[in-house]
Structure 1
Amino acid sequence: MRYELHLNPATGPLPALPTGAPPGDAGPGAFHRSLPGYRCTPLRDSPELARLLGVRAVLVKDEATRLGLPSFKILGASWATVTAVLRHWIAQPVTPLTLDRVAAAIPRPRTRRLVAATDGNHGRGVARMARLLGVAATILVPAGTAGARTDAIADEGAEVVVVDGSYDDAIAASAALAGPDTLVVSDTSWPGYELIPAAVVAGYATLFAEIDADIAGRGLPAPTVVALQAGVGAFAAAGIRHFRAPDRPGPPPRTVVVEPTGANCLMASARAGRLAEVPGPHRSTMAGLNCGLPSVLAWPTVRAGADVFLAVDDDAAHRAMTELADAGVVAGESGAAGLAGLLAVARTGDPGDRTRTGLAPDACVLVVNTEGATDPVNYRRVVGHAPAPLDDTPAGVA
């Protein structure tokens, strides 16, 4: 369970983000509640994990199933898709903003297409949105993507294109497909392409709002440490913006951003003081985090708001998957990464690193299981048994 740690010297005020929200809309939370089968995912209080980390409490936001998919990514994909469709394809306002009303307002839906590059979960979310809106989808995946992930995307009715290269190569190929009838819905950004990735970040806010409501409703302790796994940085940016919002009461929790050792582009950027690329190939089993270049949009928020960057190897992620399974949580490789970083420090770190990551005896730690067993073959190999069945299929979705 090896890890690298970098203490961020550049924390400060968070930069503004473009919103791109439709006029008069109540926000992504209201839209998500209009989706078929919406319900809050569980926030689990785990004494077992607290003992392992040597802290007072561990809360696990469990996104093993969200709106019938095995990942939180549908939250960002759905909000980014609907805001992009409204901006580019629909001339008139849609009020109230619901999935059915947006689908009905798309002119010539059979000529329209959504495109995304993915290591699995984001692309599947975009493919699901295309299916629900009645438009086509083309999803580009890097070579070596697990068959279970590509099959799941194809099962949504999308065309799956395998790119001979890395995730970053798939991103470049997807960007080249943009056109009047083809919308690229990416969770990363590049110069001139920021509104849709900003909507992805905004869409993830629903998850964190649910955490706050659950903590308040159940009288749970507020987190003093938040672990946020990162690929290009969109999810980490969403968590940072939530917990470091200027109007949020009390001191912010310590924020720990966790990446795979071979794809730690945010840590590399923090060390360099500028955007930096970690060249591929990126071979971690934490497939959703195998990104060599940060999002241009997310990076300034992560740089300003992350207290600590951790990079962990696959052994740490696999150990975290097993510990989560023992605690009753089905977590894929990327889903377990946040806990993996903290476990590695707790088990092999010195007292200084425990202090840097906030692992004090009275700490309350929040981790997010961002995905379920999206690669069942590897899950069985790592954990020793098949994932427990989960049922969160929305009404009307086979």
Structure 2
Amino acid sequence: MASFIHFNPEARDYTYSAPNGAEGGTAESTVLAFHRALPSYNETTLHTLPPLAASLELSHVLVKDESDRFGLPAFKILGASWAVYRAVLTALDQVGPDEWDGMTAAAATTRMSVDDLGSAARDRGLRIVTSTEGNCGRAVARMAKYLGLPVRVFVPEYMSEATRQKIRGEGAEVLVVRGSYEDTIPVIREEAEEREGSVLVLDVGLEGYEEVPKYFVEGYSSMLAESEKQVPQLTGGKPATHAIVPCGAGSVAQAVVQHYKGAERQRQHGRAMVMAVEATTAASLKASLEAGEPTDVPTADTIMNGMNCGTLSTLAWPILSQGADASVVVTDLESHSAVEEMKSSGIRAGPCGAATLAALRRVCADTRARSELALGPESIVVLHCTEGARDYPIPT
């Protein structure tokens, strides 16, 4: 790999405008109200790391810690719960996609309670089908459990048995597909088409399938709404100037770009830069930015397995291509070192979450990157640590 950083200077002037003129703050308040009504809602911690910030000559380094979200070790339940809720409502003909535009938070979250939705869905014989590399499938299964619906989760053969067992622990049926995550997609789409009552729930946009992935992106806005409130409490009232987020297929990176580059956010807090982190084994965003078009890449084993996606979401690409300021690629060894560094600061991160710290160290060690990304003594950087600690083979 010739370079581990690809800069996207056009993103500096990008402003995200929500479809149909819907303001980002209104949409975020709707989703946050929904999450607050679910069992065991918790606002996750935003840590501050003053020694790290000082060593990197930055104002603040903050870590949004998603290691315990609704009792699960990752942020995915935010997107999965909202996506399943809306997908099942739609399957029951309770609401059409356009009906949500402009709907207030109160109206949206009282449309039908989770209990009532589950009862109606069971009466219709609905079931959820999904595919996953780990955290997303478990999160979808948890929401299906809230609704009392059966769920089938298709997984690639390289997924560890321990991860499969955690998904089964949510009441899901786990089915193994030979090959990579990408190989599960045609299998699951056929399953959903052929079996009556199947509701397909995926967090990646595909040709002819973009409505439900959009709900995942919307669901992640609760994390960002929380963070926006928490940052000034730790910085003397100042907002974030930079955000670093894992990429993978692109859905959470899309959510972060839409938030920080949103018109309303810019009016209130100014423009922030967004860096997307990728593993060396699956740098599809970097390849796509370099090519100027969506570009698939071959994948290989990595401890950052939640980011091991060789194909970008069709929904994410238009946003990332315009609004991501850089793709930063990190190695397994760098990610592992970041896991250990976060652990020493009391943060229980997994390799995908800690990759954001690895990316920060990489760009701060590069003089050109610091300049291109405007990283300096006034910078307030939020690292989105998307998963908690888990077992993985230690790289050498």
Q: CA deviation at 1:274?
A: 0.6
- Name the residue aligned to 1:352: 368
CA distance in 1 between counterparts of 2:28 and 2:8 reads 36
Distance 1:26 1:101, change over 3 A: farther
Correspondence 1:45 to 2:41 = no
Residue 197 of structure 1: aligned partner: 213
**SS of 1:114 mapped into structure 2:** strand
- Cα distance in 1 for partners of 2:36, 2:366 equals 45
Would you say 1:148 and 2:162 are equivalent positions?
yes
Contact kept, 8 Å, 1:197 with 1:297, in 2: the verdict is yes
Q: CA RMSD in A?
A: 2.4
Cα separation, partners in 2 of 1:16 and 1:273, compared to 1, 3 Å: farther
Change (3 A) 1:17 1:296: farther
1:390 corresponds in structure 2 to none
1:112 to 112, 118, 126: 126
CA contact (8 A) 2:28 2:218 kept: no
Q: Check if 1:263 corresponds to 2:282.
A: yes
Equivalent position of 1:240 in the other structure: 257
* TM-score normalised by L of structure 2: 0.88
Q: Contact between 2:245 and 2:385, CA under 8 Å: does it hold in 1? A: no
Q: Residues 122 and 149 of structure 2 are in contact (CA less than 8 Å); yes or no, is this contact kept in structure 1?
A: no
Residue type of the partner of 1:133?
L
Match of 1:273 in 2: 292
For 2:238 and 2:119, how far apart are their aligned partners in 1? 44
1:94·1:102 contact (CA, 8 Å) conserved in 2?
Answer: no
* Offset at residue 277 of structure 1 (A): 0.2
Q: Deviations over 1:239-261 (max 9, x none)?
A: 11111111222431111111001
Partner SS state of residue 178, structure 1 = helix
Match of 2:355 among 337, 342, 348: 337
Query: Matched residue of 1:337: which SS?
Result: helix
Taking only the aligned residue pairs, the percentage that are identical comes to 38
In 2, the alpha carbon distance for the partners of 1:359 and 1:94 equals: 40
Contact in 2 for aligned 1:66/1:72 (Cα 8 Å)? yes
Partner of 1:182: 198
Superposition deviation, residue 376 in structure 1 = 2.6
Q: Which has the higher mean CA deviation after the structures are superposed, 359-368 or 260-269? A: 359-368
What's 1:8 paired with? 8
Using the TM superposition, give the Cα deviation of residue 212 of structure 1 relative to its aligned residue in structure 2, in angstroms.
1.3
2:186 to 172, 180, 183: 172
After superposition, the Cα gap between the structure-2 partners of 1:64 and 1:233, relative to the gap in structure 1 and judged at 3 Å, is same
Paired residues of 2:17 and 2:263 also in contact (CA < 8 A)? no
Distance 2:19 2:136 in 1: 21
Aligned-pair distance for 1:279? Answer: 1.6
Structure 1 position 203, deviation (Å): 0.2
Contact 2:15 2:262 in 1 (8 A): no
Q: Quick check: 1:322 aligned with 2:325?
A: no
Deviation at 1:145, TM superposition (A): 1.2
Structure 1 window deviating more from structure 2 (73-82 vs 127-136): it is: 127-136
Q: CA deviation at 1:368?
A: 1.1
Compared CA separation, residues 67 and 16, structure 1 to 2 (3 A) = same
TM-score normalised to the size of structure 1? 0.87
Structure 1 residues 214, 13: closer, same or farther in 2, change over 3 A?
Answer: closer
- Aligned runs of 1:209-248 on 2, under 5 Å? 209-217=225-233, 219-248=236-265
After superposition, give the CA deviation of every residue in 1:50-105 in whole Å (9 maximum; x if it has no partner): 13433121111100010010000000000000000000125479834432232233
Distance 1:351 1:304 in 2: 24
- Tell me the distance in 1 between the aligned counterparts of 2:28 and 2:65: 28
Q: CA deviation at 1:298?
A: 0.9
Distance 1:148 1:232 in 2: 23
Match of 2:98 in 1: none
Is the aligned partner of 1:33 residue 2:47?
no
Alignment of 1:64-79 (within 5 A): 64-79=67-82
Q: Is the 8 A contact 1:34 1:99 kept in 2?
A: no
For the residues of structure 1 that align with 2:327 and 2:68, how far apart are their CA atoms?
Answer: 27
In the alignment, what sits opposite 2:101?
Answer: none
SS state at 2:4 partner: strand
- What is the DSSP-based 3-state SS (H/G/I as helix, E as strand, rest coil) of the residue aligned with 1:334? helix
Deviation, structure 1 residue 217: 4.6
**In the alignment, which residue of structure 1 is the partner of 2:145?**
131
Distance 2:83 2:248 in 1: 18
CA–CA separation in structure 1 for the residues paired with 2:9 and 2:189: 34
The code of the aligned residue for 1:310 comes to V
Aligned equivalents of 1:52, 1:314: Cα separation in 2: 23
Please tell me the residue identity of whatever aligns with 2:371. T
Provide closer, same or farther for how the CA distance between residues 357 and 3 of structure 1 changes in structure 2, counting only shifts above 3 A.
Answer: farther
- Residues 310 and 25 from structure 1, CA distance in 2 versus in 1: closer, same or farther, beyond 3 angstroms? closer
Which shifted more, 301-310 or 10-19? Answer: 10-19
Aligned residues: 371
Gaps of 5+ in 2: 96-107
Query: Is residue 366 of structure 1 aligned with residue 345 of structure 2?
Result: no
SS in structure 1 at match of 2:222: helix
Q: Secondary structure at the match of 1:122?
A: helix
Task: State the AA in 2 paired with 1:194.
Answer: E
Distance 1:318 1:94 in 2: 40
Q: 1:284 corresponds to which residue?
A: 302
Q: Alpha carbons of 1:356 and 1:97: their partners in 2 closer, same or farther (altered >3 Å)? A: farther
Question: What SS class does the counterpart of residue 81 from structure 2 fall into?
Answer: helix
In terms of fraction of residues, the more helix-rich structure is: 2
